[in-house]
Amino acid sequence: MSTNLSAPDGNENTSQVIRIGTRKSQLARIQTDSVAEKLKQLYPEVTFEIVAMSTVGDKILDKALSKIGEKSLFTKELENALERKEVDLVVHSLKDLPTSLPPGFTIAAVLKRETPYDAVVLHPKNAGLTLDTLPVGSMIGTSSLRRAAQLKRRFSHLEFKNVRGNLNTRLKKLDESDEYSAIILAAAGLLRMGWENRISQILDPEDCMYAVGQATLAVEARAGDDDIMEMLSVLNDPETVLRCIAERAFLRHLEGGCSVPVAVHSEARGPQLSLTGAVYSLDGSDCVKETMQTSIDTSKGEDEEVHRNASHVGVMAPGLWMASRDAAERLGVDLASLLLQRGAKDVLTLARRLNDAR
Ligand code: DPM
């Protein structure tokens, strides 16, 4: 007779408990809940618990993101909790995850990307207007150097000013004062919050390209945790994985980060992955922008065992063909090299120096 492993309450399937770490903001909670829901449906026998914590990025609200100078602003406390095994996985916005993760951590899932574009949220008194038709000198709130640079280039009649805080705080600052005529936010965040009625305009990539990894949820885990990695790998969306590997490789090779104005646009059309990348001077007057393509295969591929733990810019996606993951990474590196050849280095160096001096 086999040993009786059942719990004292007689429940045979003594439940495995998986703890999911999240930041405390409402957006972070919504994002984490959506991933937890998916996992519960896929693994009904497992109990998932959510553990919320504050991060440096949530606590320092009086400084522009690009000035705090800490890369892992929103991720460090969560990674500490992962390391101490207080949590087993952490849900992030991929765009907040540095392109080089600390050793021992990995991105074990990249979920299907939502609308990647930025959106304009108007002060209610400006209802009906667009960035084009706002009066000369209108103040636009954003602390993203990427958004400010591109929009200054395209809408020279507007002024720009930092706005920090979580989404709730920003909308409040917009609505309850006369400081800003409008603020710019990622459409994805607004949609997840259920605030689509506040979106008055979605910015076209011609006017404003998005940030690396924008509108994409990622799940971080301990690199050696094979069971968790296996569990999470089914969440991967092949097209998003390859686009984001290319985008992250581009940013890493440029030595970008959130303190420089770098923007991307990527598309997977059948066997073709295309990536457009650009760097801007802070005032938008200089721009180096190029597009490159590569061939990929987004069908799920069973690679050899040796490739299962291969990481591409921090992303592990064992169910996807290694050749495609390599090609996506090379695309990002090649595009960054091309931009650097065309003068991106000087543009970035100056932007960094000016931003540090502000
Ligand atoms: C990063 C930036 C911003 C966030 C910089 C950028 C926006 C900062 C600002 C790296 N992280 O985009 O150029 O507007 O002052 C952030 C948001 C989301 C993830 C909110 C937003 C939600 C959307 C998503 C903050 N991180 O961008 O409006 O999952 O991409």
CA of 353 to the centre of ligand 1 (A): 22
Residues taking part in catalysis: 96
What's the pTM value of the predicted model, to 2 decimals?
0.92
Atom of ligand 1 nearest to the CA of 216: 29
How far is Cα 325 from Cα 238, in angstroms, rounded to an integer? 10
How far is Cα 90 from Cα 81, in angstroms, rounded to an integer? 9
Q: Whose CA is nearest to atom 27 of ligand 1?
A: 186
- Using only C-alpha atoms, the chain has a radius of gyration, in whole angstroms, of 21
146 ligand 1 Cβ < 6 A: yes
Sign of CA dihedral 338, 342, 343, 344: negative
Instruction: Per-residue pLDDT tens, the chain, 358 aa: give them.
Output: 333 333 444 444 456 899 999 999 999 999 999 999 999 999 999 999 999 998 766 665 555 556 555 556 667 889 999 999 999 999 999 999 999 999 999 999 999 999 999 999 999 999 999 999 999 999 999 999 999 999 999 999 999 999 988 899 999 999 999 999 999 999 999 999 999 999 999 999 999 999 999 999 999 999 999 999 999 999 999 999 999 999 999 999 998 665 789 999 999 998 999 999 999 999 999 999 999 999 999 887 766 676 777 999 999 998 899 999 999 999 999 999 999 999 999 999 999 889 888 7
**Which among 27, 70, 75, 96 is the best mutation to test ligand 1's pocket, defined by most ligand atoms within 8 Å of the CB?**
96
344 ligand 1 Cβ < 6 A: no
CA of 211 to the centre of ligand 1 (A): 8
203 ligand 1 Cβ < 6 A: no
